[in-house]
Amino acid sequence: MRPRRLPTLLALGLLLLLPAGVSHAQITNEPVSPYPDPDKFARGIFGEAEVGTVVFLGEAGSSVGPGAAVGVRLGYDLFRWVALQVHAVGSTHTTSFRDAPQSGQILQLYQGTAELKLSVRFGRVAVSAMGGAGLGRLSSNLLGTTELTAPDVQNTLVTLGGLGADYHTMSRHFSFGLASTFAKYQRIHTTGALCATAYVRYTF
């Protein structure tokens, strides 16, 4: 009896396995890319907060020490590659004049500029160049007593230019970046000043 049952058992086994071996797949949507689409990054009004340092060059470089800087920018993206922005930054410096009472004093530099920024984006990374002009103000006439400015000078015109790069996060609103600018002060007897900052940007 056993030889007769063997074909029957094999047939039943095949019938049981056959439905399990047949499958159907249906794709309704393409897989979602894990990378953000640069075309969907927010554009328009933006704000930036920055921290960094300001270093004077030339004649004032040996007398006015590097200073911590804090600044903000508010701007608007006219196009994907060009933006207009206003920039306010302040820095605090310690003076060093050999055998002079002005040595060891605290001096602040404040400046506000209007700037044009041009950018080129490579995926989530953007590189930019910027330039602008505005007004700078010293917190006192200390440099006037050391002939680094004319006497009683506190205000000065300032022009600047610089480069930057930022990295966009997975959020369409946030990016982080680094920037470096060179500023020339009309009424301060110095080559100029370098400002290096790190910033966070939010685009509304």
Domain around 53: 42-203
Asked if residue 27 is part of any domain, the answer here is: no
Residue-wise pLDDT tens for the chain (204 aa)? 455 666 666 666 655 655 554 555 555 666 655 666 778 899 999 999 999 999 999 989 999 999 999 999 999 999 999 999 999 999 999 999 988 999 999 999 999 999 999 999 999 999 999 999 999 999 999 999 999 999 989 999 999 999 999 999 999 999 999 999 999 999 999 999 999 999 999 999
What is the CATH classification number for the domain harbouring 51? 2.40.160.20
Residue 16's pLDDT is what?
60
Distance in angstroms (rounded) separating the CA atoms of residues 87 and 105: 27
Residue 37's pLDDT is what?
77
Distance in angstroms (rounded) separating the CA atoms of residues 35 and 58: 46
Asked if residue 32 is part of any domain, the answer here is: no
Asked if residue 24 is part of any domain, the answer here is: no
Asked if residue 84 is part of any domain, the answer here is: yes
Asked if residue 4 is part of any domain, the answer here is: no
Closest to 109 in 3D by CA, of 67, 57, 160, 60: 67
Query: 32: alpha, beta or left, given left = phi > 0 and alpha = psi -120 to 50?
Result: beta
> How many distinct structural domains can be found in the chain?
1
Asked if residue 161 is part of any domain, the answer here is: yes
Distance in angstroms (rounded) separating the CA atoms of residues 197 and 55: 12
Asked if residue 15 is part of any domain, the answer here is: no
Residue 25's pLDDT is what?
56
Asked if residue 135 is part of any domain, the answer here is: yes
Give 124's Cβ-side CA count (13 Å radius): 14
Closest to 180 in 3D by CA, of 69, 77, 85: 69
The whole-model pTM stands at 0.81
